[in-house]
Structure 1
Amino acid sequence: MRPLPEPSAQSLRLLFLFIFVMGVAPSPALTAGCPHGCVCDDQLLVVQCAGQELTRFPNDLPLATRQLIISNNRIGDLPPLQLNYLSDLVYLDCSNNSLTEISESTFGNLRKLAYLDLSFNTLLQIEDRTFGPLASLVMLRLTDNPGLGEIHSDAFSENVALQVLDVSRNNLTTLNISGLIALPALRSLGLSGNPWKCDCDTEDLCLWMNKLEGITADQSQKICYSPPELAGQRLSEVGMQLRADCHHGLGYWDYLFFIAIGFVIFSAGTVLRLTVAPGAEI
């Protein structure tokens, strides 16, 4: 696999221009009723609710909303029933809240969503197909969730438009990359600041990172946290060592296991033959 280039400032500007253009494209105006504590822009179809000490997802959001910003609040849940009415949403910033979980149903009808920020929350895990419905997702930020220790291998497998994924500064020790390898548009992958455990479970990630040197700007931060003999080394530097350590020949206990299995099969066959009447078909 050829190295994926780090996105340039120009490409990121184009991404946000794309989101902005989608936001100002002809669409029904926002309704006159704007949620309490929020500011609504009828021309840009933006609902701004940042920093309002909200503890719940805002009610009665205009259905024509294209950009929703609810960052810097204390919201603990994204209710699918309310969120999925916003089928024209292209930009959603939920950063710096108290979100603990999300699921496939959370974003079930947001097929136009291009930008999603879930950073600085309290997420614990990302389940199978969590982002599956987001067919247009281009940028996803999942940074700074200190309890996030598990991301399912198929969490992003259907996000074929995804270009920028950042899972930095979480509590990840391993990451199954099978779903990431298949993403045709991926250009940037942020992994720094996680307590990576460089063992056989992380071998594929380390080997992949060896091919992707330069993909992000914080290479020096993507280091092994354990075991002690590898602590401080870059993920990309230990891949070949792990391959050698994790694919050695059969050990003493492996041979004993095969011998025991063979003995059991032989004994079962012998007993069966002794218990079947002479001349009977086995």
Structure 2
Amino acid sequence: MSMRVAWARWYWVVILTTSAARTASDWLDCAHIATCKCKWSSGKKTASCASGDLRRPPTLSSDIQVLDLHDNPLRNLPQEVFSNIGLLNLQRLNLRATNLRSIHPDAFLELRILIEVDLGDNDLAHLPKDIFRGNERLRLVVLTNNPLTALIADQFPPLPHLRMLLLDGCRLRSIHTNALRNLKSLETIDLRRNQLTFLRLITFSLPALKTVSLSGNPWKCDCRLREFKDWFLESKLGTEDLLCVEPTAQAGNKWRNVPSESMSCPPEVRTSTLVVRAEVGVATSFGCWVHGVPKPTVSWLFDGIDVHNSSVDCDMEETETTVEEDSEERVPGSVRWVNITLLNVTSSAAGEWSCVAKSVAGEARAIISLVLPRSQTATARTAPGIPQLLGVVFGALGILATLGFIGAVACWHLRRRTVPPSRSFIDQEKRLIDASVVVSCDRSIGSMASPCDFEMTEQSLGDDQPRTCSFEPVHITIEGTPGTFPPPPAEFAVPVPYGNIFISVQVAGRGEPGKYPDLLSGGATLPRRNRSCCTAPAYDNMGPRVTATGSSTWSLPGASSEHPEASETPVLTLPPPPPEFVSL
């Protein structure tokens, strides 16, 4: 029995030793990744994969406690990148100089025993809020040399064991007052070589804080830094000398050599509106917002005159207030509203009201315009005097007279050009003309102006053709002695605008056969002109003629003169003409 027990013991020893050797060889082989070396270091299972040109964290044994990935081009860390490959036992993680530009907020989720993480020398311009959520055992966070510009409120989740936070060499310009409030165990914070100009005391109200490094920042020694400077020098949190860069009067001075009372800020003045509309007889109020350290004095000016020295009936009231939490650039408790109330607005109160704040650090002002409704007024115009009225009347009359004269001259010239010259007739001629003008169709004077109305026409009474636009012929018999007669007057030889005149001549007495006087200087007949423009049928120029005997004949081509047709035209016999008519 004893021999059997002894062999059993040796069997299990061999089995356990072989299994342990096999397990040890698994993590030491680094999963056969050539760029990684696995070893024991400081009592920790360490995988060193530095400068291995890795694009993502390698899949290693879950026993790995320390992972060094520095100098690999990772560029980004996706969600739960380490827990997804089984590296849940990581305690230290080195990601320095891995070209990281973005990190998912849950990249380190489930790494519950993570103690240290180094993210230095990367390109992180933005740090996700609560980036280390779930990493409650963290003691050291390194963010050195990243282009971070700000730390927002609650930048870090509750990390009860975090002792050291390194932010040196970044580009921080502002740190929210609540950025570090969840780091109750923070002992050391390094903020060297950033772009900080001031800090707030409340930001570093941490119970375990022992060291604050602030050198290498362009500190502006004004009222915003005043409170923090006094606290920092008394707290003994740092041993380095801090220098002022601004304002110019304090440039190059050490903090300990700058009196607190000289660290002031010029006043700021703002108004909620630029224009105030009021009504006459009604009270109105307006005000300005004033900030400054030391506390500035405030006065109201109306059109450049202090209201206390003017006749304006008003009251002034000041109300202290605080700076909003998000307003990180102002000192809390140094802000107030200065209001003014006009008890009885009058028209004289309209204009520019100025809120002026003054202190040893400078002066500032803001302007408010008080406007009233426009009043509608009517202005009576004075009546013009008698001399002015007469001048206007005579001037108008003169202008009218001049225009009338010019118009008369123009009409006279035009009439001379368009109206034919008048002719003078004796009484008998007028009676003769009146008896000879017969209008056989209804036409206006305008229609008689047509050229066809001036033609000398004669239509035979026996002609069956309808007469349209013609005159009834009138035959005139002139008795006289045989012999030579003078030519007819021009009024009877040339068509005139008062109608067509047909003349037949009967000579008393007998002369030689076939011989008749030349009354018309061209023959014993009156030719017709073409009526192509009238509505009657057209005929040639050899139409009906009036002979010297008073008869009418057709002298068409081929017509015989030996058988003249008897004229049916009635003959109007007039008494013998007077001598003056014969002389025509």
Is the TM value for this pair above 0.5? Answer: yes
Q: How does 1:120-269 map to 2 (within 5 A)?
A: 120-145=145-170, 147-181=171-205, 183-213=206-236, 215-217=237-239, 219-220=240-241, 222-238=242-258, 240-242=260-262, 247-253=293-299, 258=316, 261-264=339-342, 266=343
- Relative to total residues, which structure has the larger helix share, 1 or 2? 1
User: What amino acid does structure 2 have at the position aligned with 1:120?
Assistant: N
How much has 1:52 moved relative to structure 2? 1.9
Q: Which of 68, 78, 86 is matched with 2:111 structurally?
A: 86
Computing the radius of gyration over CA atoms, which structure comes out larger, 1 or 2?
Answer: 2
The aligned amino acid for 2:110 is Y
Which stretches in structure 1 are left out of the alignment for 5+ residues?
1-28, 269-282
More moved, 41-50 vs 95-104: 41-50
TM superposition score normalised by structure 2? 0.37
Q: Which structure 2 residue ranges, 5 or more long, are not aligned? A: 1-25, 47-64, 266-291, 307-314, 318-337, 346-584
Distance 1:195 1:84, change over 3 A: same
1:74 is aligned, of 94, 99, 116, to 99
Q: Could you say what secondary structure the match of 1:81 adopts?
A: coil
What is the CA–CA distance in structure 2 between the aligned matches of 1:267 and 1:69, rounded to whole Å?
A: 74
In 2, Cα distance between equivalents of 1:170 and 1:254: 42
Cα 1:227/1:134, change in 2 over 3 Å: same
Offset of 1:119 from its aligned partner? 0.6
Structure 1: distance between partners of 2:123 and 2:32: 23
* Partner residue, 2:386: none
Aligned counterparts of 1:152 and 1:35: Cα–Cα separation in 2: 44
In 1, the alpha carbon distance for the partners of 2:166 and 2:32 equals 27
Whether the 8 Å CA contact 1:225–1:232 is kept in 2: the answer is: yes
Q: When you count strand as a share of all residues, which structure comes out higher?
A: 2
Measured against aligned partners, the alpha-carbon deviations of 1:87-116 in whole angstroms (never above 9, x if no partner) come to 211101111011111132311211111100
Return the TM-score normalized by structure 1.
Answer: 0.72
| Partner SS for 1:261 | strand
Q: Hey, what's the Cα distance between the residues in 1 that align with 2:36 and 2:344?
A: 76
Counterpart code for 2:222: D
Change (3 A) 1:51 1:173: same
Contact 1:112–1:135, Cα closer than 8 Å, also in 2: yes
Structure 1 position 56 matched with structure 2 position 76: yes
Aligned length: 234
Q: Would you say the 8 A contact 2:105–2:128 is kept in 1?
A: no
Distance 1:187 1:135 in 2: 16
Deviation at 1:38, TM superposition (A): 5.9
- Structure 1 residue 108 corresponds to structure 2 residue 127: no
**For residue 45 of structure 2, what is the aligned residue in structure 1?**
43
Structure 1 residue 238, shift from structure 2 partner: 2.6
